[in-house]
């Protein structure tokens, strides 16, 4: 299901700068915004289920986030006030044009077992008023925008039009006050602090020791891995809970780095036993600093996502059990086992890192770190099939 053109399209968002007519931090990219938005969507969805008893279709929410992500890649050069006016007056025609552009960029999307473009078209035609998942994504969009704007506001205070932008964002958030999560986040308490802390991953640069184009953050990388995991899960015909677990485990797989920063692989492997020590530190930091910011009912699930994050596992008789990816596909591909393909997520993580090196080297920006990382990753996966997915083929798309 994953193809070279689709992978390249996902990475385009790393080069799209946001707020580029304002004084802003260097790394305010569309990729990071979309990643932060999906973390907001996860939090809003969990609160909506707990407080309002909503029965969310999490796969629809994941897919809606992907479709909106592709939509923004195509239309991101349009300033928000113009964009919203165009969508209000010419939304149907604009959506059709977006679909044509995506199909042109990624030939063969309609030939997949699932017609992604047809699914996108149906999603664009849905009204947020009738679709709780779409409404959550809309709210997450404005909340993530507001997180950025609070930083922009301090840097641009007094700039003409800034107060108008502030009022417009506040009005849009108020439109979603019927969602329990929006009300809770407005209080600015611990769950809001969690989202603020996660937002710091937008400023942590990947491959920090090497000049690179485009630069990507830990936050953006997490979303790329999550979207890859989604497409791989579709190829595996994953049950809904398996797809949900794979996506959000991938989205949160580097969460501990908000506390430890990105420790590069050579450091982790430099001394025997150091990797285990780092894992212990990460575990302790999660327990002491991150989990207290979240409702206690979420802790077990977040631990399932972040502890042994690259292990294949299920839950049987209320206990976590490590199994192989083949066993999941053959015996445990049912919601009741809450299956999670950690090996596949790791391969997606490594593929994302490999493409990061490829893109920079292809742009002529290279270093010994990037070239060595590129060679090692290709050698590791050039002939690998993981969880039934031919990762050797995916890596060969980007062979230098």
Token pair for 98: 């977006």
pLDDT band of 267, cuts 50, 70, 90 = very low
Give the burial class of 230: count Cβ atoms within 10 A of its Cβ; 0-12 exposed, 13-18 middle, 19 or more buried.
buried
Residue 355 CA to residue 11 CA, distance in Å, equals: 9
Report the distance separating Cα 248 and Cα 38, nearest Å.
9
Do residue 225 and residue 101 come from a single domain? no
- Surface-to-core class of residue 400, CB atoms within 10 Å of its CB (0-12 exposed, 13-18 middle, 19+ buried): exposed
Task: Check whether 123 has a pLDDT greater than 50.
Answer: yes
Do 379 and 334 have their domain in common? yes
Mean pLDDT of 330-334: 97
What pLDDT, on a 0 to 100 scale, did the predictor assign at position 271?
A: 55
Tell me what percent of the residues of the chain surpass a pLDDT of 70. 96
The answer to whether 172 touches 214, Cβ cutoff 8 Å, is: no
User: Does any domain span residue 375?
Assistant: yes
In a domain, 333, yes or no: yes
Shared domain check, 236 and 178: no
Nearest 5°: the CA angle 185, 216, 45 is: 25
Closest CA to 221 of 342, 341, 106, 351: 351
Q: Compare 348 and 283 and report the one with higher pLDDT.
A: 348
The answer to whether 254 and 226 are in contact (CB under 8 A) is no
Mean pLDDT of all residues belonging to the chain: 91
For residue 131, what are its two tokens? 């679709």
DSSP for 237-291, please give it.
Answer: T--HHHHHHHHHHHHTTTTTHHHH----HHHHTSSTTHHHHHHHHHHHHIIIIIG
* Calculated CA dihedral for residues 91, 92, 93, 94, nearest 10 degrees: 40
Question: Which of 277-286, 289-298, 333-342 bottoms out in mean pLDDT, i.e. has the lowest?
Answer: 277-286
Question: What pLDDT, on the 0 to 100 scale, is given for residue 108?
Answer: 73
Distance CA 328, CA 313 (A): 8
CA atoms within 13 A on the CB side of 286: 22
3-state secondary structure 199-216: HHHHHCECCCCCCCCCCC
> Of 203-207, 224-228, 363-367, which has the strongest mean pLDDT?
224-228
Count of domains for the chain: 2
Task: List, as one string, the DSSP characters of 376-395.
Answer: HHHHHHTT-EETTEEHHHHH
Looking at the predicted structure, is the pLDDT value of residue 29 above 50? yes
Same domain, 226 and 345: yes
pLDDT in tens, 181-223: 999 999 999 999 999 999 999 999 999 888 899 999 999 999 9
Please tell me whether residues 364 and 228 are part of one structural domain. Answer: yes
Full residue range of the structural domain in which residue 127 is found = 4-187
Domain boundary among 187, 203, 233: 187
Higher pLDDT, 126 or 277: 126
> pTM of the prediction?
0.94
Nearest alpha carbon to residue 32 among 263, 204, 270, 211 = 204
**pLDDT recorded at residue 262:** 57
pLDDT for the residue numbered 387:
94
- Determine contact, residues 346/225, Cβ cutoff 8 Å: no
Mind giving me the DSSP string for 322-356?
Answer: E--HHHHHHH--SGGG--EEHHHHHHHHHHHHHHH
> d(Cα 86, Cα 360) in Å, to the nearest integer?
35
Q: How confident is the model at residue 257 (pLDDT cuts 50, 70, 90)?
A: confident
Judge if 169 and 79 occupy the same domain.
yes
Same domain, 240 and 383: yes
Q: Which two tokens stand for residue 148?
A: 């950025």
pLDDT above 80: residue 130: no
The dihedral sign for the CA sequence 210, 214, 217, 221: negative
Phi first, then psi, for residue 286 (nearest 5°) are -60, -45
235 shares a domain with 146: no
Mean pLDDT of 354-369: 94
- Over range 31-44, report the average pLDDT: 98
Q: Does residue 127 form part of some domain?
A: yes
Each residue of 74-109: pLDDT tens digit?
987 677 778 788 888 888 899 999 999 999 988 877
pLDDT score recorded for residue 269? 52
182 shares a domain with 33: yes
Length of the chain: 400
Residue 146 to residues 152, 153, 164: CA-CA distances in angstroms?
Answer: 9, 10, 13
Band of pLDDT at residue 277, cut at 50, 70 and 90: confident
Predicted pLDDT at 263: 52
Q: Looking at residue 313, which CATH number applies to its domain?
A: 1.10.3210.10
């Amino acid at each position: 299901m994953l193809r070279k053109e689709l992978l390249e399209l996902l990475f385009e968002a790393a080069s799209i700068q946001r707020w580029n007519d304002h004084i802003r931090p260097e790394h305010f990219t569309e990729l990071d915004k979309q990643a932060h938005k999906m973390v907001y969507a996860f939090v809003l969805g969990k609160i909506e289920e707990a407080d309002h008893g909503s029965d969310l279709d999490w796969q629809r929410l994941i897919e809606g986030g992907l479709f909106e992500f592709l939509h923004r890649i195509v239309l991101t050069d349009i300033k928000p006030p113009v964009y919203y006016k165009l969508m209000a007056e010419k939304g149907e025609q604009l959506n059709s044009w977006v679909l044509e552009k995506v199909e042109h960029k990624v030939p063969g999307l309609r030939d997949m077992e699932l017609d992604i473009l047809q699914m996108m078209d149906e999603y664009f035609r849905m009204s947020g008023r009738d679709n709780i998942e779409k409404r959550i994504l809309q709210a997450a969009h404005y909340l993530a925008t507001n997180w950025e704007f609070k930083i922009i506001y301090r840097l641009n205070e007094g700039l003409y039009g800034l107060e108008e932008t502030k009022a417009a964002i506040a009005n849009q958030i108020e439109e979603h006050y019927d969602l329990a999560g929006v009300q809770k986040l407005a209080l600015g308490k611990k769950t809001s602090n969690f989202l603020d802390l996660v937002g710091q991953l937008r400023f942590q640069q990947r491959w920090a020791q090497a000049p690179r184009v485009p630069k990507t953050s830990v936050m953006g990388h997490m979303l790329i891995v999550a979207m890859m995991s989604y497409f791989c899960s579709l190829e595996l015909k994953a049950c809904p809970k398996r797809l949900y677990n794979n996506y959000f485990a991938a989205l949160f797989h580097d969460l501990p780095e908000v506390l430890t920063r990105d420790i590069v692989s050579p450091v982790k492997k430099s001394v025997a036993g150091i990797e285990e020590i780092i894992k212990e530190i990460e575990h302790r930091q999660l327990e002491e600093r991150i989990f207290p910011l979240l409702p206690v009912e979420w802790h077990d699930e977040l631990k399932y996502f972040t502890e042994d994050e690259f292990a294949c596992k299920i839950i049987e008789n209320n206990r976590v059990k490590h199994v192989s990816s083949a066993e999941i596909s053959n015996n445990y591909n049912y919601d009741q086992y809450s299956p999670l393909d950690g090996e596949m997520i790791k391969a997606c993580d490594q593929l994302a890192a490999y493409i990061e090196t490829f893109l920079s080297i292809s742009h002529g920006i290279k270093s010994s770190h990037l070239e060595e990382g590129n060679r090692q990753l290709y050698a590791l996966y050039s002939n690998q099939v993981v969880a039934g997915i031919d990762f050797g083929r995916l890596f060969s798309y980007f062979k230098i």
